[in-house]
Structure 1
Amino acid sequence: MLPAAPQPCSGGVTLMLAGDVMLGRGIDQVLPQSCRPELYEPWVRDARSYVRLAERVNGPIPAPIDFSYPWGAALAEFASASLRLVNLETAITTSATPWPDKIIHYRMHPKNVTCLSAAGIDLCVLANNHVLDWGRPGLVDTLDTLDAAGIAHAGAGLDAERANEPAVLPLFDGRSLLVWALGLADSGIPLAWQASAGQSGVNLIDDSSEITAGDIAARKRHGDIVIVSIHWGGNWGYTVPQAHRQLARRLIDAGADLIHGHSSHHPIGFERYRDRPILYGCGDLINDYEGIGGHEAYRPDITMLVGCRWAPGRSAPEALWLTPLRRRRFTLEFASPKEADWLVRKLLDNAPGACPSLERDADGRLHWR
């Protein structure tokens, strides 16, 4: 067990960020209320098969699990934060009609939205390649369920205006946290999912994103904090495309204070630009992939949370740290020192640009100097 997480300073903001959170398929099957288990994958036809795969590798899962179970050790880290943000890579719906010609479809039962509330999640990013897995009716269900639960969202909506709109969360003294959520086609988002003036969908952009940059410059006020959350790139590998670096820097030049990247199933390199962090890939926080082989070199069971703290009145973060975690039996445990050191080496060895020193401190967390 790690010591208590760093506490927010008086009047400041501590944000806890995670990459992909997938609470559907096998995980939905062990939660208190589950969707029908039928799948439309070419190799697996029953979501309960993913539960059996995980149990074969790491032992029994105590189904039905309670709503806090998938978060495990992450709960204490979330509790120390002012706000908590994840990329929700799961439709929340009981819709029975999957998106045609798509191989993988994730969904969780609307009654399992309590799983997000149990972790205190404040905002779900929806600009990703799974939010419309169960069609546009499934997207409407997802939006309605999050609204009813009081969880903010960004990156998808009933039309382009609402999909492109940032989520706005109040901070202190009239200041706000503004979160724009964007998706790129190279993450696997179908072009047909792009929201338009008369059609629901996601905020699917090209690499230049001049519209988002202009929106940031126009809407950010003194003292506000701006996060841009981007679903981009493939699932495996450490290479960061030059186009992603250029996009991230363009958004920071426009006023973004942190770039929150995701899509890769494992953490990938970071960069600092104009004193602002660019997180190119935070890795999957929660999924049901235990027992699926083929990418062991990436240690996909090792993941992390990202903590970032802002002092009162400042937009450049004063501290950033990572909490290394291990995924096992559909829950999260603190990673061992050896696993944390392995993660440090991978992140530093594969940093795409100027990356400050990343060191494991006595508290077990990785602090970005």
Structure 2
Amino acid sequence: MTGRGIDQILPHPGDPALREPSVTDARTYVNLADLAGGSFRRPVGFGWPWGDALAVLDDYAPDIRLFNLETAITAGGRFAHGKAVHYRMHPGNLPCLTLVRPDVCVLANNHVLDFGPRGLADTLDTVAAAGIAAVGVGRDVEQAHRPVVLPLPSGGRVLIAAGGMASSGIPRDWAATANRPGVALVPDLSHRSADALAERALVRKRKGDLAVVSLHWGSNWGYTVASDQVRFARRLVDAGVDLVHGHSSHHPRPIEVYRGKLILYGCGDLINDYEGIRGFQAYRGELRLLYFATFDRGEGTLAALRMVAMETKKLRLRHVSCDDAEWLRSSLEHISLRFGTRVGREPDGTLSVRIA
């Protein structure tokens, strides 16, 4: 979430005006972070929000880097009517995104249209000009539903389809249609909807390919995964999907390995401007995770899942203490036990899912 307060600390901050019930200036969130973690000089460099995560990404050097980008990238557009919270990042701050070299940005979420069709068009144009694939939105429904296909260095491909649900805060009238730009909206948690979403990722799948569905769903806070969400995710796997990449919650949610395939019910935020916001301290929202999943390409099964724990301070990611890493490990394991998932800790502090 590189908009709003994060945008304001970068070299090219956009218009800080907001229309939230209690906040009318995005710099307020920067001031709250100052109070929580200590003040710092602005503007910061483009790499500041990523902090220690930059070296972690370089060390792991993943073949495919997949992010949910939860902001419009625009200097124009109009505030979406009826929304309480709006996120935008100035296009001049795009290097904050490109320096981590994302291959794919999922845009099927509840902030991509915060500044209307103009803001969406600007976002698509800016991302495309940077050579980043976008998935889950489009200028019409055909483009919004179109999967991204990426080659792997060692052969085979990754096929990625994305969708979003109203449960995450996406207005239903944001759904893309034949003559309206918008989001690939998943209407419900039915088998029919799961099969349709899976088919987008599977229609071009060949032997040796991996199929991914990225899904923006569920509430911002809370560990509960409803039974119909579990059924939906498992239906995707039963159809042939190898990874379900869930997001929306501001903190990590349970992890399941189902039939050898990885289901992340909610990855939590990685970057946001929530540092000084109070009210949900029990979830330790300042603690973040980078997920590194390795797959057996022959079967699409999970070979390993490593997670690197980070925390945010002064709106910048840094390594966590041993105690905080243990808190995350214990919490993840506790909320994932219903799925039989065990979370361990490696000697270097990395968290790992134990594959049966």
- Tell me the TM-score range normalised by the shorter chain: over 0.9
Question: For 1:144, what is the secondary structure of its paired residue?
Answer: helix
Of 306, 323, 327, which residue of structure 2 is paired with 1:321?
A: 306
Aligned pairs for 1:209-248 within 5 A? 209=193, 210-248=195-233
CA distance in 2, matches of 1:114, 1:25: 16
Greater fraction of residues in strand: 1
Partner of residue 328, structure 2: 343
CA distance in 1, matches of 2:297, 2:267: 26
Aligned pairs for 1:7-46 within 5 A? 22-46=1-25
Partner of residue 298, structure 1: 283
What stretches of structure 1 of length at least 5 have no aligned partner? 1-21
Report how many aligned residue pairs link the two structures. 348
Of 337, 346, 350, which residue of structure 2 is paired with 1:361?
A: 346
RMSD: 1.3
CA distance in 2, matches of 1:172, 1:119: 18
The residue type equivalent to 1:117 in the other structure is T
After TM superposition, where is structure 1 displaced by more than 6 Å over at least 4 residues in a row?
Answer: none
Question: For 1:219, what is the secondary structure of its paired residue?
Answer: coil
- Say whether residues 1:196 and 2:169 are aligned partners: no
What stretches of structure 2 of length at least 5 have no aligned partner? none
TM-score (norm 2): 0.95
The residue type equivalent to 1:270 in the other structure is I
- Say whether residues 1:78 and 2:57 are aligned partners: yes
CA distance in 2, matches of 1:228, 1:132: 21
Instruction: Note if contact 1:258-1:276 (Cα within 8 Å) is conserved in structure 2.
Output: yes
Instruction: Note if contact 1:323-1:365 (Cα within 8 Å) is conserved in structure 2.
Output: yes
Of 219, 244, 249, which residue of structure 2 is paired with 1:264?
A: 249
Of 86, 89, 107, which residue of structure 2 is paired with 1:108?
A: 89
CA distance in 1, matches of 2:337, 2:76: 41
Higher RCO, Cα 8 Å, sep 6+:
1
CA distance in 2, matches of 1:317, 1:241: 24
- Say whether residues 1:56 and 2:35 are aligned partners: yes
CA distance in 2, matches of 1:311, 1:213: 20
Instruction: Note if contact 1:240-1:352 (Cα within 8 Å) is conserved in structure 2.
Output: no
- Say whether residues 1:152 and 2:126 are aligned partners: no
Aligned pairs for 1:103-142 within 5 A? 103-142=84-123
CA distance in 1, matches of 2:291, 2:154: 25
Deviation of 1:353 (Å): 3.5
The residue type equivalent to 1:99 in the other structure is A
Partner of residue 189, structure 2: 207
Instruction: Note if contact 1:216-1:254 (Cα within 8 Å) is conserved in structure 2.
Output: no
